[in-house]
Amino acid sequence: MSLDGLKWTIARYFKSIGEPLPADLPAVLGPYQGDIACGQPRTVVGGQVEFWDAGVIVVEPDVPAGKDVVISCGVHGNETAPIEMVRDLLQEILSSQLVVRQRVLFLIANPLAIVAGTRFVHTNMNRLFSGAHRSGNSLEHQRAAQLEQYVSRFYRQQKRYHYDLHTAIRDSAFERFAIYPFPHDNPYCKEQLTFLAECGINTILLNQAPTTTFSYYSVNTHQAHGFTVELGKVKPFGQNDMSRFAAAANMLRQLISCDELKLPEFDPNRHQIFDVNRTINRETDSFELHFSEDVPNFTEFEVGYVLATDGAIKHRVEQPGERIIFPNAQVEKGQRALLLVKPIAIEQLKLV
């Protein structure tokens, strides 16, 4: 019997929380009728697929080649293209079209929000890692805690990776970009920058402080190479042009199916680097952005322009070259509503 890993995830998760599936689900989500139980491995060419939990699927090669790779999607439920990408990778593995040589943990993170077709249901899951899930008891808080435990259970080998796949709420001047979590005192990795460039991702945003994102959890807690990867713009299921995601999907296939990934030499000219200059949080109920919803990420405004008001506070552009990214006036109070970033030369980075 064939297995649709996404439909199985949704059916299994809703059964576990005792909730019926809505009747008007998109076709890609279910219902799934099958015979797979958690803890029951499935044999594929070159290894086994293990089902640890709803949306927690591990591929164990017979002879692992040395890397532990986490590929996560659906932390935000309306970011459908990465979910479809992971579904397709799982289908290829389960049908033995893709033979995996590296250990892989696939995570479909937020089934509740995926079914709702929303970014989140109770709270932004990508603010709930590195222990931040202890601040509440919603299903998303509980799920974030479980995902941390599964990542900790999975990592065994010295070479560890985590690609947390997303799409952005709005268009971007640079369609695909990756957020490099705060490395503390560690250098930035040339090999990983080259891998991202081969994925079609030449724009890198440096995060210069600890965060509660999923990718930072793996970087800080498990010393993995990890990234939040933005692959395009949010669209409903069935409306994604998957050809725009082909380069990233193909590189992930190569990463997990090859003993050693063959990459070109590092070329600093392939990359444009942005550093976070300022973070603007929403502090009051009257927070408001002063540019339209169709203004793309990485748009530059003139010095003095009022980007946002928050009660009596006016947030202006303070320096030439500042650009906006991730503007969202609807975040909860205390959370990030806007980042301001500036380009920096790659030569300023400590690289290895």
Q: What is the pLDDT of residues 140-157, one digit of tens each?
A: 999 999 999 999 999 999
Query: Which has the minimum average pLDDT: 21-25, 55-59, 221-225?
Result: 21-25
Please give the CATH architecture assigned to the domain spanning 280-343: Beta Barrel (2.40)
pLDDT of residue 263: 98
> Are 64 and 102 within 8 A, CB to CB?
yes
pLDDT at 295: 94
What is the arithmetic mean of pLDDT over 168-188?
Answer: 94
What is the pLDDT, as a whole number, of residue 37? 78
pLDDT at 36: 77
- What pLDDT score was predicted for residue 3? 86
Q: What is residue 208's predicted lDDT score, i.e. its pLDDT?
A: 87
- On average, the pLDDT of the chain sits at 95
State yes or no: pLDDT of 58 exceeds 90.
yes
pLDDT band at 2 (very low <50, low <70, confident <90, very high): low
Determine the Cα–Cα distance for residues 340 and 318; give it in Å rounded to an integer: 10
Tokens describing residue 113: 């929000």
From the number of C-beta atoms within 10 Å of its C-beta (0-12, 13-18, 19+), residue 294 rates as exposed
- The confidence band for 35, taking pLDDT boundaries of 50, 70 and 90, is confident
Compute the average pLDDT of residues 47-51.
97
pLDDT of residue 31: 83
Asked whether residue 119 carries a pLDDT value surpassing 70, the answer given is yes
Q: pLDDT tens digits, residue range 299-322?
A: 999 999 999 999 999 999 999 999
When pLDDT is cut at 50, 70 and 90, the band that residue 30 belongs to is: confident
pLDDT reported for residue 241: 95
State the Cα–Cα distance between residues 157 and 47, nearest whole angstrom: 17
Q: Residue 1's pLDDT is what?
A: 43
Positions annotated as catalytic residues are 230
pLDDT in tens, 97-113: 999 999 999 999 999 99
Res. 205: pLDDT tops 70:
yes
Task: Provide mean pLDDT across the span 130-137.
Answer: 97
The residue-averaged pLDDT of 163-178 equals 94
Residues of the chain with CATH 2.40.50.630: 280-343
SS (HEC) of the chain: CCCCHHHHHHHHHHHHCCCCCCCCCCHHHCCCCCCCCCCCCEEECCEEEEEEECCEEEEEECCCCCEEEEEEECCCCCCHHHHHHHHHHHHHHHCCCCCCCCEEEEEECCHHHHHHCCCCCCCCHHHCCCCHHHHCCCHHHHHHHHHHHHHHHHCCCCEEEEEEEEEECCCECCCCEEEECCCCCCCECHHHHHHHHHCCCCEEEECCCCCCCHHHHHHHHHCCEEEEEEEEECCCCCCCCHHHHHHHHHHHHHHHHCCCCCCCCCCHHHCEEEEEEEEEECCCCCCEECCCCCCCECCECCCCCEEEEECCEEEECCCCCCEEECCCCCCCCCCEEEEEEEEECHHHCCEC
pLDDT tens digits, 232-259: 999 999 999 999 999 999 999 999 999 9
Q: Which CATH number fits domain 5-268: 1.20.210.10, 3.40.430.10, 3.40.50.2000, 3.40.630.10?
A: 3.40.630.10
For the record, the structure tokens of 146 come out as 């479980």
Q: What is the token pair recorded at 80?
A: 């459908």
* Short-list 186, 195, 204, 171, CA closest to 299: 171
Q: What is the pTM of this model?
A: 0.95
Rounded mean pLDDT, 216-223 = 98
Residues 6+ apart with CB under 8 A from 149: none
Q: Which residues of the chain does CATH 3.40.630.10 include? A: 5-268
pLDDT at 215: 98
Q: What angle (nearest 5°) sits at the alpha carbon of residue 247, between those of residues 58 and 293?
A: 100
